[in-house]
Amino acid sequence: MSLDQHPSASAGNYEVATKPLATEASDPKIEYFAAFNYFFEHPEWGNSLLMGSVCMLIPILNAIVLAGYRYEIVEMKLRFPDQLYPKFDFARLSQYITRGIWAFLIDMIAQMVLVVPFLVVFYGSMIGIGIAVASNERVGLIVAAIVVPLVMLFLMTVSLLLSTAMVPLYLRAGLAQDFGQAFNLRWIKDFLAKVGVQTLLFTLFLMVTGAILGIIGYAACFIGLLPVIFLLAGPVVAHAHYQLYRLYLARGGEPIPLKPLLSESAFAPTPGPPPPKPPAM
């Protein structure tokens, strides 16, 4: 059995326990760099990185596939905590799309809600600075030196807060595989109340490391961005969300209802052919 495959079980054992992590410590420690180290623990991480990078070349579907793979990792980590994550497999694109479409739709809604205010603030500030420069160049430059950093700080802060607030929505959509489940406001408020600070800090950590790795990716003739995007938005965010969800459950949070696995499919060893029957006497 290859290391990325999960142990098989009878169909009746696929239901998720009410408290998947009940045996965890009362307050598990958040480990930031473990989200990166986790990916490289798999002996076939290079193949996953290569296949995932190629997938990033597919327009639109790449984000859906990546979201599906991300929350498959989270679910498998919950169901089989002692196993390595499932490697990225092109043969499972349809399953990734089926799972990832819900998180993708939520992301699209968030972007549409966010883009309009961002554009109003940004272009409104630029027009105001332009008018100030036209009326008095010296005063205009002083205004620009003050306003531009404040606008950038405002946009970054709003982006950070929104990204933090979106984590519980992504988790519910990706794990429950249901669009309606994502908008359980009571659960979202409970999640943010219990682990909101940790979610904010982890989101900030991912934004900073993503910016650094993005610069390195650009330096590698742009092609280097493909593995960076796959790594960060896939396995790294998956492990980060798993840690936050684990902490939430340990603090008495309500588990997300998971669908039973359909069969002993991609997560169990593929059975071999039946043994030949003995010749008739």
Q: Please indicate, yes or no, if residue 207 is contained in any of the structural domains.
A: yes
**Which two structure tokens, joined as six digits, stand for 104?**
């993708």
Q: Please indicate, yes or no, if residue 152 is contained in any of the structural domains.
A: yes
Q: Are 14 and 97 in contact (CB under 8 A)?
A: no
Q: Please indicate, yes or no, if residue 258 is contained in any of the structural domains.
A: no
> Cα–chain-centroid distance for residue 30?
16
Q: Are 78 and 85 in contact (CB under 8 A)?
A: no
Confidence of residue 108 (pLDDT cuts 50, 70, 90): confident
Q: Please indicate, yes or no, if residue 1 is contained in any of the structural domains.
A: no
Question: Taking residues 196-201, what's their average pLDDT?
Answer: 94
Q: Is the pLDDT of residue 247 over 90?
A: yes
State the pLDDT at residue 177. 85
Count of domains forming the chain? 1
Q: Please indicate, yes or no, if residue 44 is contained in any of the structural domains.
A: yes
User: C-alpha distances in angstroms, 34 versus 160, 238, 262?
Assistant: 21, 11, 30
Mean pLDDT of all residues belonging to the chain: 78
State the pLDDT at residue 60. 81
Q: Please indicate, yes or no, if residue 191 is contained in any of the structural domains.
A: yes
Q: Please indicate, yes or no, if residue 120 is contained in any of the structural domains.
A: yes
Q: Is the pLDDT of residue 74 over 90?
A: yes
Q: Which domain holds residue 28?
A: 16-250
Confidence of residue 264 (pLDDT cuts 50, 70, 90): very low
**Who contacts 154 (Cβ-Cβ below 8 Å, separation ≥6)?**
121
**Which two structure tokens, joined as six digits, stand for 181?**
């489940």
State the pLDDT at residue 137. 66
Between 112 and 171, the more confident residue is 171
User: pLDDT tens for residues 16-56?
Assistant: 333 444 445 567 788 888 888 889 988 989 999 999 989 88
Selection from 200, 188, 195 nearest residue 162 by Cα: 200
State the pLDDT at residue 248. 95
Helix (H) or strand (E) segment spanning residue 146: helix 137-176
Count H helices, E strands: the chain? Answer: 8, 0
Q: Please indicate, yes or no, if residue 8 is contained in any of the structural domains.
A: no
